[in-house]
Amino acid sequence: MLNFDYYNPTQIVFGKGSVARLSQLVPADARVLVLYGGGSAERNGTLAEVEEALGERTVQRFGGIEPNPSYETLMEAVALIRREKLDFLLAVGGGSVIDGTKFVAAAVYYPRDPWHILETFGTEIASALPFGAVLTLPATGSEMNNGSVISRKSIQAKLPFSSPHTFPRFSVLDPVKTFTLPPRQIANGVVDAFVHVIEQYLTYPVNAPVQDRYAEGLLQTLIEVGPQALAVPEDYDVRANLMWTATQALNGLIGAGVPQDWATHMIGHEITAMFGLDHAQTLAVVLPAMLDLRREAKRDKLLQYAARVWNIDTGSDDARIDAAIARTRAFFESLGVKTRLSDYGIGTDAPQRLLAQLETHGMTALGERRDMDLALSRRVLEASL
Ligand code: NZQ
Ligand code: ZN
């Protein structure tokens, strides 16, 4: 096992009715900014429930945070907070709203132009406003980690940052709040969480059996509950299990002490920035080609994945790896998430343009061994068409 330093201070308050707990979770004298997205939280009553729980506190709203939250929009929230001297942030939404809130929290008192946070991947953040979250979409794990991904439309960039200062103080996870999600977002959430586990599991063995078995359990749970969540949208237990699985897929635990890949995510971010695909759609496109082309470096774990997650144990090594990749692709497709760039109307000129952006953003040595160069990214993108 590799050395690690694991720290996760986020309090999770889970279950039906837990939005009411905000009355205790948010400091009584806080001047609160509630941040939300394009209006789903307003339409389905979550925002009203949140504000009721906040009671007599000073509360202002900031709506309009887009999927793939933009620097441009978030800087408006930063200005509002500075102007109104607000001191506690509450994100109500999915990964985009929570990620956006992390950025705002770090940007308010950042001593330089806050875009510098993305240029330095968050390494120079020295403090952030305290914030909590009410999660409405199980997918990213942002509710229990310190990472965030921010887009800047004007330069077609989508870049990650993280910092010990950007963990939520708490996150409220009420599975009932996911009942209003459209099927596309449920499917996206299952794929995103699945790929989060894969990026931390499907690398090379370091004799870390508990991380492996935990990751395999999360993958098998997603394979089981993902289709159920689509088939029966208001099944509380299914949504509860999906929600808790997605949180654990990226709260740091399964990634402690093991190599991590993240190449699929970094290439996916460029596809979203350039073509606007949903985050999970990009992952569904890139991952099957990635696994196929990096099968030598990942051979041992691919065989383990085939056997333990998909119960494939006959045929040659390569035949089993082929079958596991095919099952992965078929799983994404069965949820309704397409797995080819061409399915999204993206043509053969895309790899060249995406490679230029990867280079601009310094994404030239990706993967668990940092040996994934632009030539290999090109092959992956060409195989994703
Ligand atoms: O904006 P509103 O109107 O609220 O609608 C949202 C949005 O259109 C809707 N939605 C959310 N909850 C709903 C709902 N609609 C009905 N009922 C509800 N209960 O869903 C749409 C998508 O929301 P979004 O927050 O964008 O989705 P998701 O949670 O998948 O977040 C994706 C973002 O997270 C980043 C991605 O890159 C992307 O920008 N990620 C963040 C990570 C992290 N912080 O650790 C890791 C991930 O790999 C990922 O990169
Ligand atoms: Zn993701």
pLDDT in tens, 152-203: 999 999 999 999 999 999 999 999 999 999 999 999 999 999 999 999 999 9
Q: How far is the CA of 57 from the centre of ligand 2 (A)?
A: 34
The answer regarding whether domain 11-177 maps to CATH 3.40.50.1970 reads: yes
Distance of CA 1 to the CA centre of its chain: 25
Cα 337 to Cα 9, 190, 263, 343, distances in angstroms: 34, 10, 20, 10
Kindly state if the Cβ of 219 falls inside 6 Å of ligand 1. no
Query: What's the pLDDT at 204?
Result: 98
Residue ranges of the chain whose pLDDT lies below 70: none
Mutate which of 19, 66, 192 for ligand 1? The one with the most ligand atoms within 8 Å of its CB, which is: 192
Kindly state if the Cβ of 282 falls inside 6 Å of ligand 1. no
**Cβ neighbours, 10 Å, residue 304:** 17
Instruction: Count CA within 13 A, CB hemisphere, residue 128.
Output: 27
Q: How far is the CA of 251 from the centre of ligand 2 (A)?
A: 12
Kindly state if the Cβ of 100 falls inside 6 Å of ligand 1. no
Atom of ligand 1 minimally distant from the CA of 65:
1
pLDDT digits (tens, 9 = 90+) for 234-244: 999 999 999 99
Residue nearest to atom 31 of ligand 1 (CA): 95
The answer regarding whether domain 183-383 maps to CATH 3.30.750.24 reads: no
Provide the edge-to-edge strand list for the sheet that holds 131-135: 11-14, 170-173, 131-135, 88-93, 31-36, 58-62
Query: What's the pLDDT at 42?
Result: 96
Residue nearest to atom 7 of ligand 1 (CA): 67
Q: How far is the CA of 95 from the centre of ligand 1 (A)?
A: 4
Query: What's the pLDDT at 228?
Result: 98
Query: What's the pLDDT at 94?
Result: 98
Query: What's the pLDDT at 84?
Result: 98
Domain residue limits, the chain: 11-177, 183-383
